[in-house]
Structure 1
Amino acid sequence: MTAQAHTASSPSPEGQRLPVVKGGLPMMGHAIPFARDPVGFLLRAHGRQGEAVAFSLPGRRVASFCGPQANAAVLSLDDSEADRRPVYEPLVTPLVGPGAIFDVPAEVKTWHDSLLLSLLRRDALARHAPDMFDQVERYIAPWPTSGTFELMTVMRDLAARITAHCLIGPRFNRTVGPALATLLDQLQAAFFMSFVVGSRSLLPHHRRADRARKTLTRAIKEIAPHDRPEDSERSHFEELMSAVGPDGRSLDEDTAAAVMLGWLFASASTPAHAAWTGVLLLQHPQWLPVLRAEQEAAFTDHPPASLSALHGLERLGHCLLEAERLHPAVWLLARTAVRDLCIRGYRVPRGHLVCVSPGASHRLPGVFRDPGTFDPDRYLPDRREHRATPCALIGFSGGRHPCLGMSFALQTTKVIWSVLLRAFDLELADPDVREARTDLKHPPRRPCTVRYRRRNR
């Protein structure tokens, strides 16, 4: 990669011009090769021209940066320099409703984030753990002794039910849970289509998403206010409604429902990460005895009585990190340059889309040894390749805006695979699993069929 003296952004517009990716078509720019294989496109471009390149998409000029130092420079920019809201607000607000996520001033979004963090602190995660195990055990209980299941469908169902139960409430999960994953899929499909076509159009995807949003919003408003978790005097919805924001006002019912729907929508990266974790483990079955032995040593009971026992699954944690590296659920992190910037010595004009790609950065041989190889040992204390430089592993973003739900998502995935590995012998029906490019999360292409047989426990 090209080494630059600048390690952070500067307000000065001075610097060298970004190298431009060759090719491209009038009006379309590089949209076709980018859409066909975005990670491959970026790896080729950066491999030829260094850590910073420019290319074009319909109506947009893109400044792409790749590599740990470049990732750190971009992800350290604040919203007055490179803002996420112009990129994501038009995509997200129609799906969750106004007044939530990016459809609010920065100080209000910070307040909304603090409301979610109360459900994601370590003490909250400890309370969630038994419920997570219970949700997975209940889900697999009716399965016969042997059979098959579609991996992405199961991960989608489990992640949706766990998130609904822990963040909204048990009654909401029991009532909406069976349909929740399908409704969230409809929102995700509309998100993808809006990203592809560049605007929200009246496609069938958007009409289905509108119906899904109305269904989920109505269910949240009807159920969540009375959905008090065990040993709690107030529901999570009531906690939202009673909180006071930076302007001295509380949320109204519609906005509180939109905030909660945003929590559900944000959980959509978990199924892809959990599914790829399973694919990689079953493609490398030599790891299964290691993980089962680790679980037997860590758990004196099942489900474990403490969060520390779950944290003791270090080798499973390394497998999760490797799945994050090889198949990050978010393969592109984008911001809009609010003003002219100088990043790593390159001029980035105001209005450019500024991007880093976890999918490309995670496959750089100068950062990770044999980057195309599944190797959980790279996270052992004597190697720790992901810690050798800041922002080497950014599958859950990083810098100023790390993913708030990362610990919750990783704990969900750990619980799911702890239960499945303990309960079943598993194998892929077809070990050749490819990415689905019709989804921004790039999950395993369906059907991804897994054969299972119950184990004696």
Structure 2
Amino acid sequence: MTGDHEPLPPGGRELPALDGGLPLIGHGIPFFRDPVGFLARVHSSRGEAVAFSLPGRRMASFCGPQANALILGLQDDTEVDRHLFYDPLLAPLLGPGVGLTAPSELMKWQHSLLLPLLRRDALTRHIPVMFDEVERYVAPWDGHGTFDLLAVMRDLSARIAACCLIGPRFGRTMGPALPRLLGRLEAALFAFAVIGPRGPLPHGLADRARETLVHAIKEIAPRDCPEGSERSHFEELMRATGPGGSSLDEDTAAALMVNWLFAAVPTTALAAWTGVLVLQHPQWLPVLRAEQEAAFADYPPTTLSALHKLERLSHCLLEAERLHPPIVVLPRPAARDLNIHGYRVPRGYVVCASPGLSHRLTSVFRRPEAFDPDRYLPDRAEHRTTPQALIGFGGGRHPCLGATLAQQTIKVIWSALLRAFDFELADPEVREARTTVMRLPRRPCTVRYRRRKR
């Protein structure tokens, strides 16, 4: 690629092809069993670029910050066609014509409808809502006991997303049903990724969960006004005017909100891994508590500046993103023959960068297998030594819109929990689950807790 992202004339070296794939499923079994380990092995043997097969698609995998920057900088429509990859996966899951399955101009407009909920003033309004949800959730807990970490993070991230993005009444009315429905959508997404979009089981699972959520949103959200607002977020969507004077009907507006809620699933993964890593390295607990005492003049805090002072917690969160990024690969389907990093990529191949593999490069990160939040201190700042080194929230032309909201959610959850409780992992050996797209911690992930004396 040239600096202005115009495609070079087709040419260059042929992609080294990985052999040994099975008919129809290609290399799907080793990839879905351990995607980062699989990619690490194939790049170690074949070099910086390699082609392999997954069910229904040919993959062109690249490794390294320079390749990441090229791939994440590819232009929509002229160089990549996201519909080739996302429509079969997301249309049956979250509904056609919304989010990533919408045409480019319509997608940009739909994204713009979320932005008012992500601006600085909105993020400030979300702070007391987030703390209140965590306090409500843990209020019934006894003085000591155990809980499943993944279940708690699922509940909290879903409730917070619902209250902030749809409305407080919706979040509290749905209660534990909401994370269960989002979990079914995530399970269906994994099934679609593994066996393709034709199987009746994932379709049924996705349809029932999505229809339940759409119905609940249409019933509750129109009258669910956030505190201090005269209109609900749903009403704002219905009033919006899009390209060519278009507008949203109730079903499409509700489907768009389902897309917003589904973003709570990667937040769940990152919140859970942040907790796992900190509890596996308990020397960080007094550091994080001392930082919180210094940052919060009053509790709960009401300003973004107070949360921004939690730099050590931010470093732990970044390290969780580096070691356990929720998204395994960042796919960019080639809309035409491309020349990437000197390799010819045929049209229709899915070009991908891997956060999990890129985040463990010894050329970028010192002792990459180690949990080392100090690597983000200003005098080291390993993630800033090269562009696109840390890509757990995407990057380039399509960074995650909700990255700041997700990070704020995780900071609030762990600030509230660490203030109120002492924690210990029942079993410090926690592995990634193999049957989830987001690479969640394997269950049960049991945590012992004890209320702290104020």
TM-score normalised according to structure 2 size:
0.97
Deviation at 1:105?
1.0
CA distance in 2, matches of 1:173, 1:421: 24
Deviation at 1:25?
3.0
Q: Secondary structure at the match of 1:53?
A: strand
Q: Is the 8 A contact 2:28 2:194 kept in 1?
A: no
Q: Which residue of 2 aligns with 1:439?
A: 436
User: Does residue 129 of structure 2 align to residue 106 of structure 1?
Assistant: no
CA distance in 2, matches of 1:390, 1:237: 38
Q: Is the 8 A contact 1:6 1:343 kept in 2?
A: no
Deviation at 1:23?
2.8
Deviation at 1:148?
0.3
Deviation at 1:5?
9.9
For each residue in 1:325-366, what CA deviation from the matched residue of structure 2 results, as whole angstroms up to 9, or x when unmatched? 000011111121100000111100001011111011111111
Q: Which residue of 2 aligns with 1:176?
A: 174
CA distance in 2, matches of 1:355, 1:148: 40
Q: Aligned partner of 1:381: which letter?
A: P
CA distance in 2, matches of 1:97, 1:42: 31
Q: Aligned partner of 1:84: which letter?
A: R
Q: Is the 8 A contact 2:321 2:392 kept in 1?
A: yes
For each residue in 1:375-419, what CA deviation from the matched residue of structure 2 results, as whole angstroms up to 9, or x when unmatched? 000000011100101110000000000000000000000000001
User: Does residue 276 of structure 2 align to residue 279 of structure 1?
Assistant: yes
Of 338, 343, 349, 1:346 maps to: 343
Q: Which runs of 5+ in 2 are unaligned?
A: none
CA distance in 2, matches of 1:86, 1:177: 36
Q: Is the 8 A contact 1:6 1:344 kept in 2?
A: no
CA distance in 1, matches of 2:36, 2:360: 9
CA distance in 1, matches of 2:118, 2:226: 15
User: Does residue 51 of structure 2 align to residue 57 of structure 1?
Assistant: no
Q: Which runs of 5+ in 1 are unaligned?
A: none
CA distance in 1, matches of 2:350, 2:6: 15
Q: Which residue of 1 aligns with 2:363?
A: 366
For each residue in 1:10-61, what CA deviation from the matched residue of structure 2 results, as whole angstroms up to 9, or x when unmatched? 2411111112224323443222221221111111111222221111223322
Q: Aligned partner of 1:376: which letter?
A: P
Deviates more, 1:39-48 or 1:23-32: 23-32
Q: Secondary structure at the match of 2:399?
A: coil
Q: Is the 8 A contact 2:337 2:347 kept in 1?
A: yes
Q: Is the 8 A contact 2:184 2:205 kept in 1?
A: yes
Q: Which residue of 1 aligns with 2:392?
A: 395
Q: Which residue of 2 aligns with 1:334?
A: 331
RMSD: 1.5
Of 194, 205, 210, 2:207 maps to: 210
Q: Secondary structure at the match of 2:244?
A: coil
Deviation at 1:83?
2.4
CA distance in 1, matches of 2:200, 2:277: 38
Q: Aligned partner of 1:82: which letter?
A: V
For each residue in 1:262-297, what CA deviation from the matched residue of structure 2 results, as whole angstroms up to 9, or x when unmatched? 101122100010000000000000000000000000
User: Does residue 319 of structure 2 align to residue 319 of structure 1?
Assistant: no
Q: Is the 8 A contact 2:90 2:96 kept in 1?
A: no
User: Does residue 406 of structure 2 align to residue 406 of structure 1?
Assistant: no
Q: Secondary structure at the match of 1:44?
A: helix
Q: Aligned partner of 1:155: which letter?
A: M
Deviates more, 1:250-259 or 1:23-32: 23-32
Q: Secondary structure at the match of 2:314?
A: helix
Q: Aligned partner of 2:10: which letter?
A: P
Cα–Cα, structure 1 residues 125 and 106, in superposed 2: closer, same or farther, change >3 Å? same
Q: Which residue of 2 aligns with 1:188?
A: 186
Q: Which residue of 1 aligns with 2:451?
A: 454
Q: Aligned partner of 2:115: which letter?
A: L
Identity level (%): 68
Of 352, 357, 376, 1:355 maps to: 352
Q: Is the 8 A contact 2:20 2:27 kept in 1?
A: yes
User: Does residue 375 of structure 2 align to residue 375 of structure 1?
Assistant: no
Deviation at 1:427?
0.5
Deviation at 1:84?
2.2
Q: Which residue of 2 aligns with 1:294?
A: 291
CA distance in 2, matches of 1:5, 1:406: 29
Q: Is the 8 A contact 2:148 2:446 kept in 1?
A: yes
Deviation at 1:120?
0.6
CA distance in 1, matches of 2:131, 2:9: 52
CA distance in 1, matches of 2:335, 2:328: 23
Q: Which residue of 1 aligns with 2:81?
A: 83
CA distance in 1, matches of 2:417, 2:210: 32
Of 23, 28, 34, 1:37 maps to: 34
* Count of residues paired in the alignment: 453
Cα–Cα, structure 1 residues 105 and 6, in superposed 2: closer, same or farther, change >3 Å? closer
Cα–Cα, structure 1 residues 297 and 422, in superposed 2: closer, same or farther, change >3 Å? same
Q: Which residue of 1 aligns with 2:159?
A: 161
Q: Secondary structure at the match of 1:247?
A: helix
Q: Aligned partner of 1:231: which letter?
A: G
Q: Is the 8 A contact 2:124 2:302 kept in 1?
A: no
TM-score normalised according to structure 1 size:
0.97
Write the mapping of 1:2-151 to structure 2, written as runs, cut at 5 A.
Answer: 10-79=7-76, 80-151=78-149
For each residue in 1:77-134, what CA deviation from the matched residue of structure 2 results, as whole angstroms up to 9, or x when unmatched? 0112112222112211222223311232100100000110110111110110110000
Cα–Cα, structure 1 residues 52 and 9, in superposed 2: closer, same or farther, change >3 Å? farther
Cα–Cα, structure 1 residues 229 and 348, in superposed 2: closer, same or farther, change >3 Å? same
Q: Is the 8 A contact 2:5 2:75 kept in 1?
A: no
CA distance in 1, matches of 2:22, 2:328: 24
CA distance in 2, matches of 1:173, 1:30: 41
